[in-house]
């Protein structure tokens, strides 16, 4: 067994996964669809774990999502080619089997992954012990797993290139002329529009949206207005009347714990919040 990357308490589940991945690596006789299923399950489990984190690692999430997509594509092609759809893996069973952990493994994917067989009509033989421990994952489940993790990674409070930030104080930034960098005008306009929504934030509510099924319910809510990259002409002038911004500034605490550099960001935050509140309240 290979050493673990990090010290952590191994649950039964994790031990069984480690056992399976060793089997994957060492066994040449594992049928390909089973290997694929195993990898898929591992990917989805990881994605599910990442969703629970406050800040999932974007790099890893993308790599895992791509692996799921790749498997998904393969399975789709297979199901298109064959008139009768076959999927590997069947009803979970608690058989113990030789050569593996005999703790009565029934791999339960975290809630939200459907156990329905959407494509299946023909069942394989139940004799292969490894098959017994793998659950089927439908195409929809894979897609929703990918999209939900990537959606969560979209930091709506996205600081797009801060070219629209008001320079602090009298400091006129003296960018040396000889570098020859010029912002194109249309690019600047785009960023100006983005700045309206640039620092608005919807709280990342993964803490109570653990269930993929719940995500599906919210899918049809249009959050495009809160998307920082959505470029539409602002409903109100980007710089709200100064009265509206000054008042909240006095009562609102500093946005994060770093230095006073952020005061200018907070100011933009507040005018956006103000703006959104007005829309929501409908005044």
Partner 1 sequence: LAGAGGGNDIQWCFSQVKGAVDDDVAEADIISTVEFNHSGELLATGDKGGRVVIFQQEQENKTQSHSRGEYNVYSTFQSHEPEFDYLKSLEIEEKINKIRWLPQKNAAQFLLSTNDKTIKLWKISERDKRPEGYNLKEEDGRYRDPTTVTTLRVPVFRPMDLMVEASPRRIFANAHTYHINSISINSDYETYLSADDLRINLWHLEITDRSFNIVDIKPANMEELTEVITAAEFHPNSCSTFVYSSSKGTIRLCDMRASALCDRHSKLFEEPEDPSNRSFFSEIISSISDVKFSHSGRYMMTRDYLSVKIWDLNMENRPVETYQVHEYLRSKLCSLYENDCIFDKFECCWNGLDRQVGFCSIFHFSIVMTGSYNNFFRMFDRNTKRDITLEASRENNKPRTVLKPRKVCASGKRKKDEISVDSLDFNKKILHTAWHPKENIIAVATTNNLYIFQDKMN
Residues 6-35 close enough to bind partner 1 by CB under 8 A: 6, 17-18, 21-22, 24-25, 35
**76 counts as binding partner 1 under rule CB under 8 A:** no
Alpha carbon 247 to chain centroid distance?
36
CB closer to partner 1 out of 242 and 259: 259
Segment interacting with partner 1, rule: CB under 8 A, options 81-89, 196-204, 212-220, 240-248 = 196-204
Counting every residue written for the chain, the total comes to 283
- Helix ranges, 53-102 (H): 58-81
> For residues 169-188, which are near partner 1 according to CB under 8 A?
171, 173-176, 179-184, 187
Q: Is 269 in the site for partner 1 (CB under 8 A)?
A: yes
The two tokens of residue 240 are 């709200």
120 binds partner 1 (CB under 8 A): no
Among the listed ranges 79-87, 108-116, 151-159, 212-220, the one in contact with partner 1 (CB under 8 A) is 151-159
Site for partner 1 in 204-263 (CB under 8 A): 204, 229-230, 253-259, 261-262
Q: What are the φ/ψ torsions at residue 86 (nearest 5 degrees)?
A: -115, 130
Residue number, 32 or 281, with CB nearest to partner 1: 32
Q: Which is nearer to partner 1, 155 or 218 (CB)?
A: 155
| Residue 118, number of CB atoms within 10 A of its CB | 13
**Which residue in 271, 275, 208, 266 sits closest to 52, CA to CA?**
208
Distance separating alpha carbons of residues 196 and 42, to the nearest angstrom: 40
Phi-psi group of 81: left, alpha or beta (phi > 0 → left; psi -120 to 50 → alpha; rest → beta): alpha
Largest CA distance in the chain: 77
Binding string, 48-67, against partner 1, x = CB under 8 A? ------xx--xxx-xxxxxx
């Amino acid at each position: 067994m290979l050493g673990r990357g990090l010290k952590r308490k191994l649950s039964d589940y994790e031990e069984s996964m480690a056992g399976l991945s060793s089997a994957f690596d060492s066994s040449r006789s594992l049928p390909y669809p089973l290997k694929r299923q195993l990898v898929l399950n591992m990917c989805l489990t990881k994605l599910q774990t990442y969703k629970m984190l406050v800040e999932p690692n974007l790099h890893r999430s993308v790599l895992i999502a791509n692996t799921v997509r790749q498997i998904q594509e393969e399975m789709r092609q297979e199901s298109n080619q064959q008139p009768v759809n076959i999927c590997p893996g069947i009803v979970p069973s608690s058989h113990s089997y030789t050569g593996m952990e005999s703790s009565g493994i029934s791999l339960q994917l975290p809630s939200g992954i459907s156990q329905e067989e959407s494509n299946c009509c023909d069942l394989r033989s139940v004799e292969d012990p490894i098959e017994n421990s793998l659950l089927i994952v439908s195409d929809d489940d894979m897609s929703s797993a990918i999209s939900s993790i990537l959606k969560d990674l979209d930091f709506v409070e996205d600081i797009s290139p801060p070219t629209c930030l008001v320079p602090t104080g009298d400091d006129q930034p003296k960018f040396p002329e000889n570098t020859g960098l010029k912002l194109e005008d249309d690019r600047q306009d785009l960023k100006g529009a983005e700045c309206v929504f640039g620092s608005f934030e919807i709280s990342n509510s993964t803490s109570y949206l653990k269930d993929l099924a719940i995500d599906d319910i919210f899918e049809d809510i249009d959050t495009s207005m809160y998307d920082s990259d959505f470029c539409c002409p602002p409903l109100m002038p980007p710089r709200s009347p100064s009265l509206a911004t000054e008042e909240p500034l006095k009562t609102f605490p500093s946005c994060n714990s770093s230095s006073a550099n952020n005061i200018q960001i907070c100011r933009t935050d507040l005018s956006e919040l103000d703006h959104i509140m007005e829309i929501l309240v409908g005044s």
